[in-house]
Chain A
Amino acid sequence: MDFGFTDEQIARRKEFSDVCKDLAAKRPAEYVGFESAYDNEPSWEYYKLCAKEFGKRGWLTLDWPAEYGGSGTMMDRVLFSEARGYYGVGGVDVFGIGMLAPTLLAAASEEVKKKFLPPIAAGDVTWCELWSEPNAGSDLASLTATAIRKGDEYIMNGQKTWTTGAHRADWAFGVFKSDPEGRPHHNLVFLLFDMKTPGIEVRPIPFTNGTHIYNEVYLDDVHVPAENIVGQENEGWAIVNLLAGFERSNIDAIMALIRQLEDLVTYCNVTKRNGQPLSKDPLIRNRLAQTACELEAARTLAYRVADLQNRNEMSLMDASALKVFASELGERYASLATDVAGPYGQVKFSRWAPLNGLLEAMYHECFVFTISMGTNEIQKNIIAWYGLGLPRMR
C-alpha cells in the first residue's frame, strides 16, 4: 500500500498548481462558488479564458488515448483536478470533458469522434446535458420527450429540465424516446445537437439564491442529423449507463472544500468576538477539526476510487459511497461555515460579506452535489443492491 507519488507526478502536480494559482489571481469578484460561472458575464468570460488555457496546454485530454490528443495518465488527470479544485479555477466542462468525451471515446463511431472530440479538447465548446424531465428525475427511463427518425434526421419534441448551463452551452447531448411504443430500456436514443438549432427554447429556473444556473429546455420539432447518434437507435439506455460511470472521483470538489476550510481557519484566527479570536472558542475548534478529519477521509477515499479507475477496476460501491459522503460533507460544511461567521454567515457577495460571499454561496450550492449526478438516495440503493447484495426494490 503506497499513497506516494512518483517524482514525475510531483513535478506535474507543481506545474498544474502553478498555472491554476496564476489563473486564480485573474478570477473576477463575481465568481463566487462552483456554479456561478454560468450566472454572470464576467464569470463566464473567465471560465472560457481558463478553458482555452487548459485546452492549449493539453490538460483537458490528459487521460485520452494518444491518437485523440492524450498526453498523460488517469492519475495526471486526478492531480490536475486537485489543483483546479484547490484554487477554485473553472474551465473544465463537467458535461463535455467529464461525461461526453469518455462516452464518445468508448462508444461513438469514428466519424462522430473525429467531428466532436477536437473542439472539446481545445476548450472551444461548452456542452449541456438534456437529461431530467418534469416527470422523470431519478426514474430517468420513464422520460417522454421524443426523437423520432424521419429520413436522415431525428425530430425532437418535449420538455427537459434542470439543465445546467443550457443558456451558455454551444452543444447538447440528450436522451429521448425513439420508440414510444417500445419496451422499457430498449426505446431510447442518445443524440448530439447544436443548441442554436431552430425550435429550441431555453427558459431560466432561478436557483435558491436567484442565480441563473438551471434551465428548462423546450423542444418543438427540432431537426437533428441522424449521423449525430451515439450508439444504436432504441439502445440509448446503454449509453446512459456508460456515461454515468465516468463522473466518479469528485476530487476537485473535495479539494475545493479543503481550501475553503483553510480560509475559514484563517478567518477564525483573525476575527474577534467577545474579546478573543474565534479560533480560541473550543466549540469552533472542535467543529473545524471534525470537518478536517472528514475531509481527509473523503480525500483518501477519492484516491482509492482513482487508484481503482487507474487500474481499470471500477468499483461502483466505492464511487457511490464517496459521492454520498463527500456531498453530505459539503452540506455539513456549509452549515458549519455559515454558523461560525455569526450574522455575517447570511451575507451575500457585497462589502459586508466575509470571504467574498463564499460562505453564503456554499449554503446554496451544497445541494448541487447531493441531488445531481444520481441523488444520494439512488447512490445508497446502488451500494445496497450491487455492493452489499441486498434484494432489489420491487
Chain B
Amino acid sequence: MDLTFNETQEILRKMARDFLITECPKSLVRELEDSEKGYSPELWKKMAELGWMGLIIPEEYDGMGYTFQDLTVLLEETGRNILPGPLVCTITSTFPILDAGTENQKKEFLPKVASGELILTTALLEAEGTFSASGIAVKATPKGEDFVINGTKLFVEMAHAADYIICVTRTKDGASPEDGITLFIVDAKASGISCEVIPTIAADKLCEVQFKNVLVPKKNMLGELDKGWPIIEKMLEKGAIAKCAESLGGMQAAVEMTIAYSKDRVQYGRPIGAFQALQHMMADLWTTMTTSRYLVYEAAWIESEGLPCAKEASMAKAYVNDAYKYVTRWSIRLHGGIGTSRDHDISLYYLRAKAADTAFGNTDLHRELVAQKIGLI
C-alpha cells in the first residue's frame, strides 16, 4: 500500500495544472458557455499536443499508453479548472473501442483520436432518461451491407461538434432489455442526422440527436450483434470513475476558494473565517472532499489493476455526486451574496456539480447498483 502519486503522476498533475491556469482562464470558460461551439479548437489542439486524448490509448495506436489511474490524475486537474469541451466524452468514447473494437476499428479511429483529429461522443440516453437498457428504443435494422438507424437520442454531449457518435441501438426485442442492444460507430455528419443543443445548467452542450434513416456500414458495428450492453456497462463504470475524478478536482477548487475568501472578507472587525460557525462548516466541507478523495482513488486503482470494479465505481459515483453538490452549495453560502453572481467563479462550480451528478448515472441509480452488490436480494 502506498497512497501517494508516483513520479509520472506528479509530473502529469503539475503540467496539467500549470497548462490550464494559463490556457483556460475562467473568462474563457464563461465565453465558451455562451458560445455555440462550446469548446476552443485552438485549446483542443494544444491539449492534443500534450497527448491528453490519447493518454490511455496504447502506444501501438499512437497514444501515450498511460494507465487508467493516470487518466484520473489528469481529470482531477481538468475538473479543478472546469475545462469545457469534448475531452471527457471523447476519452470515455474510446473505452468501448479499446474494450470491444476490432483491430481494424482500433487502427482506424484511435490514432486520429490521439492526434486530436477526431472528436467522439456516445449516444445512450433517450426520452425516458434512464441509464438502463430498457430505455433503448432507437432501432437499427439490417439492410444489405448496412444498418439503418432511426429514432431520437438525448443528452448526447458535444454531438454538434463530434466527428463520430457511438450509438447504442436496439436490434432485437430479446428475452431481457439487455438482450438485443448493438453499438455502432456512426459518422456524425452522415445524411439523416440532425442535432440541436439542449439548454442545460452547465451549458455543456448536451444535444438532441435525431436519426432519420441513417446508414451505417456493418464494419462499424462495435462488438457483437445484440450483445452490446455489457460494453456499455463497462463504459459507464469507467466513465463514472472518470467523472468522479473531475468532481474531486472541482471540490478541491471550491474548498480552497472558500477558505481563501473567508480569510479575506472582514465583518465585525475580523475575517469571517475566525467565526466558529463558519470554521466548522469549512471543516465539514474539507472532510466531505477528503472522504470522497480516497473512495475515488481506490476505485481508480481497482479499475487500473483490471480487477472487478462495478461496486466500487458505483459507491464512488453515488457518494461523490452528493459530495460535489454539497460542497459547492455551501461554498456559495459561505461566500454570501457575491457567491450567487455569475461573475464569481464559485458559481461556475455549483452548476457543474449538478451536471456531473447526472453524467454516467445519478445517485439513486448507483445506490441501487450498490444495493445489488452488497447482497440485497
Contacts and interface: CB of A to CB of B under 8 A. Distances in A.
20 contacts: A1-B297, A261-B374, A277-B377, A285-B376, A286-B364, A288-B374, A289-B374, A290-B367, A297-B294, A300-B294, A300-B298, A301-B293, A318-B290, A325-B287, A380-B279, A388-B279, A390-B262, A391-B274, A393-B276, A394-B274
A296 B312 contact: yes
A269 to B, nearest CB: 5
Interface string B258-273: 0100110000001101
Nearest to B304: A1
B286 A296 contact: no
Contact of B375 (A265, A306, A317): A265
Contacts of B4: 1, 307
A36 B6 CA distance: 45
A377 B282 CA distance: 12
A286 B371 CA distance: 7
B373 to A, nearest CB: 8
A107 interface: no
B57 to A, nearest CB: 21
Contacts of B81: none
B1 A307 contact: yes
B100 interface: no
Interface of B: 1-6, 9, 69, 259, 262-263, 270-271, 273-274, 276, 279-280, 282-284, 286-287, 290-295, 297-298, 300-302, 305, 312, 315-316, 318-319, 364, 367-368, 370-371, 374-377
Interface string A1-16: 1111100000000000
Contacts of B5: 1
B69 A390 contact: no
A283 B316 CA distance: 20
Given A5-B1, A303-B1, A293 B319 contact: yes
Contact of A297 (B292, B301, B376): B292
Interface centre among A285, A310, A377 (most CB of B within 10 A): A285
Given A293-B315, A303-B1, A388 B259 contact: yes
A130 interface: no
Contacts of A306: 1
B2 A390 contact: no
Contact of B2 (A282, A307, A321, A324): A307
Contacts of A307: 1-4
B279 A289 contact: no
Contacts of A292: 315, 370, 374
Given A261-B374, A383-B286, A1 B9 contact: yes
Given A293-B370, A297-B319, A324-B287, A2 B1 contact: yes
B5 to A, nearest CB: 6
A1 B301 contact: yes
Interface centre among B5, B279, B319 (most CB of A within 10 A): B279
A1 B13 CA distance: 14
B313 to A, nearest CB: 11
B3 A3 contact: yes
10 cross-chain pairs, A with B, having the tightest CB-CB distances, nearest first: A300-B294, A384-B279, A383-B283, A289-B367, A289-B370, A285-B371, A391-B274, A380-B283, A297-B291, A321-B287
Interface residues of A, number: 54
Interface of A is mostly: helix
Contacts of A298: 291
B287 A383 contact: yes
Interface centre among A268, A279, A289, A304 (most CB of B within 10 A): A289
Interface string A258-277: 00011001101100000001
A41 interface: no
A107 B95 CA distance: 55
B242 to A, nearest CB: 16
A114 B3 CA distance: 36
Interface in A337-394: 377, 379-381, 383-385, 387-391, 393-394
B1 A3 contact: yes
B357 to A, nearest CB: 14
Contacts of B282: 384, 388, 390
A227 interface: no
A1 B245 CA distance: 14
A287 to B, nearest CB: 9
Contact of A384 (B280, B290, B318): B280
Contacts of A304: 3, 293-294
A75 interface: yes
Given A381-B279, A390-B274, A1 B3 contact: yes
A294 interface: yes
A390 B280 CA distance: 10
Contacts of B300: 1
B155 to A, nearest CB: 23
Contact of B69 (A1, A284, A300): A1
B290 A321 contact: yes
A280 B282 CA distance: 38
